[in-house]
Structure 1
Amino acid sequence: MNNMIELAKQQVKETIMNALGRLVAEGKIEAVPLPAFNVERPADVSHGDFSCNAAMASAKALRNNPRAIGQMIADAAVLDGTVFEKIEVAGPGFLNFFISPLWFNETVGEVISSGSDYGKTELGKGKRVLVEFVSANPTGPMHIGNARGGALGDSLSSVLQFAGYEVEREFYVNDAGNQIEKFGKSLSIRYMQIADGNKSDVIASYGDDDVCRKIFEDEENFPMPEDVYKGVDIIEHAYNFYKINGDKFVNADEESRKSALVEYALPLNIDGLEKDLAKYRIVYDTWFRESSLHKSGAVKQIVDMLTDKGQTYEKDGAIWFKASDFGDDQDRVLVRANGIPTYFVPDIAYHYNKLVTRGFDKAIDILGADHHGYIARMKAALTALGVDASKLDIVIMQMVMLVRNGETVKLSKRSGKAITLSTLLDEVPIDAARFFFNLRDPNTHLEFDLELAIEESSNNPVFYVQYAHARICSILRRMEEEGTGYSNIPVSELNFNHPAELALIRHIAALPNCINEAAKDYNPSKITKYLCDLAQLFHKFYDNCKIKGEEENILQSRLSLCVATKTVFKNLLDLLKVDAPEKM
């Protein structure tokens, strides 16, 4: 596939270098080394489709004023065989290149011939990337931040695949450590509350979290301490466990009871996460369990490796990592005085597994805003282990604020009620959720308007984009029914002259570069912005360029442009896993 923008840029450079060569051969300029120059796309197309600063960059070496150098280059330039029709010298010496009609024709032809592959690039060819995202705590349902992380991570993975990378999606299951201990403790207390006084008949109304709160808030025998999970999901698990086992674990020791409850509830939670994410159109290549790192000895191995390299020391009975020697702001505890590793050690082992054991060229983590400090310590650990820390990139994702009727939606911590991914998708279409969560740069706060997300108007960006795609389908369908449908005429016969046509084609041509920028910046919001701009440009084209009743050449050219635009909409909506409806 051809990148029409980059091909044109390359021709600009070749045209200028050839012109400079002629000027040297004719003795009009000196044969001296010249500095590099830039080729840009001006915001205002009246200044040309491409602008080059070669004359200004060469002024000092050629000992002449830029304007004069620019005019010499323009006079010596040969445009035959290029996609340009003229060069103008502007301002202090800018060389402005204007594209010929042939380029617009070939761009439309390129899109139509490439079809579903249009926009794909080879930026990451031969490179393996692992994208880890969501990795929600399996002790409870996914919250609204996980919803943003899911849409972001999955769409970023698709962008990277479109840019030529070999991508795998991974969910890291935190099924070991303090949070599992806390999970077991929470379940155990709820189980004992339910069993106490045989209240199971009363608990049958557990679906109403307010009833649950009233039942358990004043519980005297088994009070809920602060360091436990108080969500309704914990009550549901404990109650369902009680229905199966009755009082069997009432007199068991605490550890046995917790273990049995975790063994029952944790797989249900993980299965629930997988089902909720599948509903959200996210399917992972791997569900990687933290517990596997402990069982394999990989966690202990990390401590041993750092110790063997002289990067640890003992203090107050604990083993510390000399993180400050590798750019972190302080040293970090690896193993507590009681012999239990901190959460940092399995995290190091996990990233070592990604980059060394499995050999990925790049590991990308999508993490919440509270993980800024995590970056330096993890890169410090990898460096200490002899791993190239630049292979780890961490995308920090800011908070989401839900808004309804112009007011922030409040979440009740007291009752354990929150808007989860599942409940969000019951209220908001999946298309809207995935699109809205990718409307902003990951590192900016996102205001999610619940009403706007379901509004069927041009104010709703996903509706606006989908409507543009449906409108094109309607045009093509209607013209086909009337006997003047699209026919794939030769590129040389296409005819585009109207400014609205040319603006739309210029935008279509920019897609491969947009894909590369989104991949380099780890920012799928560049894709949603591109789609919104594409919709706006198409609607302007539709309003200004009549199709029905035009002479055959104009009619087929404009239908060809419709087909090309429809292809771009479909490719990018598919990339975001958002539907591209043919009727609305």
Structure 2
Amino acid sequence: MTPEQLSDAIVDALKSLVAAGTLALTELPTTVVVERPKVKEHGDYATNVALQLGKKAGMAPRDLAAALAEQLAQAPGIGSVEVAGPGFLNVRVDTGAQGTLAGEIVRAGSAYGRSDVLAGRAVNLEFISANPTGPLHLGHTRWAVVGDAIARVLTAAGARVSTEFYINDRGNQMDKFGASLMAVARGEAVPEDGYHGGYVVDLAAEIVAADPGILDLPESEQAVAFREKGYALQLAKQQADLASFRTLFDVWFSERSLIASGAVDRALEVIAAEGHLYEADGATWMRTTDFDDDKDRVLVRSNGELTYFASDTAYYLDKRARGFEQCLYLLGADHHGYVGRLQAMAACAGDQAGYNLQVLIGQLVKILSNGEELKLSKRAGTLVTLSELVDMIGVDALRYTLSRHPVDSPLTIDVAEVTRQSAENPVYYVQYAHARLSSILRNAADLGLVPAPDSADLSLLSTEREGDLLRALAEFPRVVARAAEYHEPHRIARYLEDTASAFHKFYDVCRVLPQGDEEIGDVHRARLVLVEATLTVVANGLELLGVSAPERM
């Protein structure tokens, strides 16, 4: 029995009490919160629904709990119900019935864990959005993982999600990029405020090799040509690096296209219609102080130039016009000051700040190698690049490690620890569980034995360790839903580690396959279905993190 099934059973029991006249309530909850007790002896699940409804019903919570316990005990799959404290209910699942969950999981396959709790919600998820003037580096890596994992869990919870990379392809930084490439190609010194590093040399050489005549262009045309060719090449390299890191975007949105489309003018009209636009000192301002910003923001300077905030405003409203109910921004720690102004901007547009526009701030990541912090890149000349990190740590180890920690906490990754093949390394521990499960199924196939959830007697899965593993598997849909609701994919990683532990403990005491001349029995068949169910859950969880599920290690 899953927590969702128990919730339904409790709701049905409440309806029965109302129908019998025992409970005087006109409105009943459609769902009931069911938790795993911290103390195992208290049962499989617990709920405080009687405490929540007692006052509304004019009943002492403990009396309501007693009536509910008597009614609920008659439900299929319920072993016992006890009243505790002022009105808590501790529920034990029938040991003979709990095994049916294993069959349900196997039949559901890759769909197990998915739900429709966010069905109908359209979410635009923007992350990384680096300038196309250099390699992706350590500062982008955390969001490359967490942003992708958030998109996966939101989708699993039923939301319609579009991942988006905003290309900052206009402005002074692009001109500096072009000037830097041109200087290198001509054997001149790179401007002091330009771009440095080996990657600039490589790009310049690649551009000249493809188009030697570029050096014969007039200087002004040459700078533009280097800028545009360098932009195209660097953007392609960013896209390739992210693809190899299993982070794919639905949309690569150009800032240039935003300006050319007239989106800024449309945005100004929206802000003006809401009454938060004004002119002062020849400039156009948004009165963001109406919504607790520390100062008003310039959108159009007195010389007619657009500010970055004008682009930010137009981009947000463009997303909303494309039908996205929620726009989620994932920003680095150095952008903490942007939160207030972005929320005020959304409010100035007539939206609900904190709902229509949400901002997550990710803290910094440090990489340690041989006890020393890595700060410099061999090719970029500044921060270590994403591709260098992948070469050093590996896609799976890096993705899992970055996704298993809350993003609002600083993180230090020791290369030696996350690449160590031992049970102390979380990614190895979880992947090893999957490989071990796969091995059991291969060995079973050699014996002519395959998981058969429709014919196996799953009521035989009644030992303590089998129950612990089944209860862990039952939690997966709720863990996924909460990871989506709170934008916290680290919940998936921690759940996988707990489930891997439950599996290893089960396997240590419960023999799945016959040994020697032992005949294949019903218990073997039932346990093999449980193994297949566990494999399904571990694989589904790793998929949500973008981490591979190896069959051999």
Between the aligned partners of 1:251 and 1:126, the Cα distance in structure 2 is: 54
Query: What SS class does the counterpart of residue 285 from structure 2 fall into?
Result: strand
Between the aligned partners of 1:457 and 1:335, the Cα distance in structure 2 is: 58
Between the aligned partners of 2:552 and 2:33, the Cα distance in structure 1 is: 45
Q: How does 1:148-547 map to 2 (within 5 A)?
A: 148-192=142-186, 194=187, 222=189, 224-225=191-192, 227-242=193-208, 249=215, 252-253=218-219, 255-307=220-272, 310-356=275-321, 358-389=322-353, 390-411=355-376, 416-490=381-455, 493-547=458-512
Between the aligned partners of 2:86 and 2:272, the Cα distance in structure 1 is: 62
User: Structure 1 245/580 Cα, relative in aligned 2: closer, same or farther at 3 Å?
Assistant: closer
Structure 2 counterpart of 1:379, one-letter code: Q
Partner of 1:101: 95
**Is the Cα contact below 8 Å between 2:134 and 2:199 reproduced in 1?**
yes
Query: What SS class does the counterpart of residue 324 from structure 1 fall into?
Result: helix
**Is the Cα contact below 8 Å between 2:457 and 2:522 reproduced in 1?**
no
Between the aligned partners of 2:429 and 2:54, the Cα distance in structure 1 is: 49
Q: Which moved more, 1:39-48 or 1:134-143?
A: 39-48
1:12 aligns with 2:6: no
Partner of 2:39: 44
Partner of 1:575: 544
Between the aligned partners of 1:495 and 1:49, the Cα distance in structure 2 is: 18
Task: Give the superposition deviation at 1:520.
Answer: 0.5
Task: Give the superposition deviation at 1:405.
Answer: 2.8
User: Structure 1 338/5 Cα, relative in aligned 2: closer, same or farther at 3 Å?
Assistant: same
User: Structure 1 455/84 Cα, relative in aligned 2: closer, same or farther at 3 Å?
Assistant: same
Between the aligned partners of 1:128 and 1:38, the Cα distance in structure 2 is: 26
Q: How does 1:122-137 map to 2 (within 5 A)?
A: 122-137=116-131
1:100-153 CA deviation, whole Å, 9 max, x = no partner?
Answer: 124412211110111111111001212222222221210000011212111111
Task: Give the superposition deviation at 1:411.
Answer: 2.4
Structure 2 counterpart of 1:141, one-letter code: P
Task: Give the superposition deviation at 1:366.
Answer: 1.6
Between the aligned partners of 2:329 and 2:289, the Cα distance in structure 1 is: 23
User: Structure 1 38/465 Cα, relative in aligned 2: closer, same or farther at 3 Å?
Assistant: closer
**Is the Cα contact below 8 Å between 2:7 and 2:33 reproduced in 1?**
no
1:144 aligns with 2:147: no
User: Structure 1 301/82 Cα, relative in aligned 2: closer, same or farther at 3 Å?
Assistant: same
Between the aligned partners of 2:25 and 2:126, the Cα distance in structure 1 is: 51
1:38-60 CA deviation, whole Å, 9 max, x = no partner?
Answer: 64432223212232335545666
1:83 aligns with 2:70: no
Between the aligned partners of 1:63 and 1:391, the Cα distance in structure 2 is: 39
Structure 2 counterpart of 1:374, one-letter code: Y
User: Structure 1 569/134 Cα, relative in aligned 2: closer, same or farther at 3 Å?
Assistant: same
**Is the Cα contact below 8 Å between 2:285 and 2:299 reproduced in 1?**
yes
Q: Which moved more, 1:54-63 or 1:344-353?
A: 54-63
Between the aligned partners of 1:558 and 1:394, the Cα distance in structure 2 is: 45
Structure 1 counterpart of 2:334, one-letter code: D
Query: What SS class does the counterpart of residue 336 from structure 2 fall into?
Result: helix
User: Structure 1 42/17 Cα, relative in aligned 2: closer, same or farther at 3 Å?
Assistant: farther
Task: Give the superposition deviation at 1:518.
Answer: 0.5
Query: What SS class does the counterpart of residue 136 from structure 2 fall into?
Result: coil
Between the aligned partners of 2:275 and 2:253, the Cα distance in structure 1 is: 30
Between the aligned partners of 2:504 and 2:429, the Cα distance in structure 1 is: 10
1:491-541 CA deviation, whole Å, 9 max, x = no partner?
Answer: 654312221111111010111111110000111111111111111111111
Q: From 537, 547, 557, give the equivalent of 2:526.
A: 557
5+ residue gaps, structure 1, are: 197-221
User: Structure 1 473/264 Cα, relative in aligned 2: closer, same or farther at 3 Å?
Assistant: same
Between the aligned partners of 1:237 and 1:5, the Cα distance in structure 2 is: 56
Task: Give the superposition deviation at 1:20.
Answer: 6.5
Structure 2 counterpart of 1:267, one-letter code: A
TM-score, length of structure 1 as denominator length: 0.86
**Is the Cα contact below 8 Å between 1:145 and 1:400 reproduced in 2?**
yes
Between the aligned partners of 2:292 and 2:455, the Cα distance in structure 1 is: 60
Task: Give the superposition deviation at 1:265.
Answer: 0.7
Query: What SS class does the counterpart of residue 425 from structure 1 fall into?
Result: helix
Query: Whose radius of gyration is greater, 1 or 2?
Result: 1
Task: Give the superposition deviation at 1:378.
Answer: 2.2
**Is the Cα contact below 8 Å between 2:399 and 2:545 reproduced in 1?**
yes
Q: Which moved more, 1:485-494 or 1:314-323?
A: 485-494
Between the aligned partners of 2:309 and 2:327, the Cα distance in structure 1 is: 17
User: Structure 1 574/337 Cα, relative in aligned 2: closer, same or farther at 3 Å?
Assistant: same
Structure 1 counterpart of 2:200, one-letter code: I
Between the aligned partners of 1:368 and 1:152, the Cα distance in structure 2 is: 12
Structure 1 counterpart of 2:81, one-letter code: I
Between the aligned partners of 2:199 and 2:72, the Cα distance in structure 1 is: 73
Provide the aligned length of Structure 1 versus Structure 2: 546
**Is the Cα contact below 8 Å between 2:127 and 2:147 reproduced in 1?**
yes
User: Structure 1 103/373 Cα, relative in aligned 2: closer, same or farther at 3 Å?
Assistant: farther
Structure 2 counterpart of 1:82, one-letter code: P
Between the aligned partners of 2:109 and 2:75, the Cα distance in structure 1 is: 27
Structure 2 counterpart of 1:85, one-letter code: G
Between the aligned partners of 1:99 and 1:35, the Cα distance in structure 2 is: 24
Task: Give the superposition deviation at 1:489.
Answer: 4.8
TM-score, length of structure 2 as denominator length: 0.90
**Is the Cα contact below 8 Å between 1:20 and 1:73 reproduced in 2?**
no
1:268-325 CA deviation, whole Å, 9 max, x = no partner?
Answer: 0011111111111222222111100121222244335434654333344332221111
Task: Give the superposition deviation at 1:257.
Answer: 3.2
Query: What SS class does the counterpart of residue 101 from structure 1 fall into?
Result: coil
Query: What SS class does the counterpart of residue 77 from structure 1 fall into?
Result: helix
User: Structure 1 304/540 Cα, relative in aligned 2: closer, same or farther at 3 Å?
Assistant: same
Query: What SS class does the counterpart of residue 119 from structure 1 fall into?
Result: coil
User: Structure 1 59/164 Cα, relative in aligned 2: closer, same or farther at 3 Å?
Assistant: closer
Structure 2 counterpart of 1:525, one-letter code: H
Task: Give the superposition deviation at 1:32.
Answer: 7.3
**Is the Cα contact below 8 Å between 1:124 and 1:160 reproduced in 2?**
yes
Percentage identity across paired residues of the two chains:
37
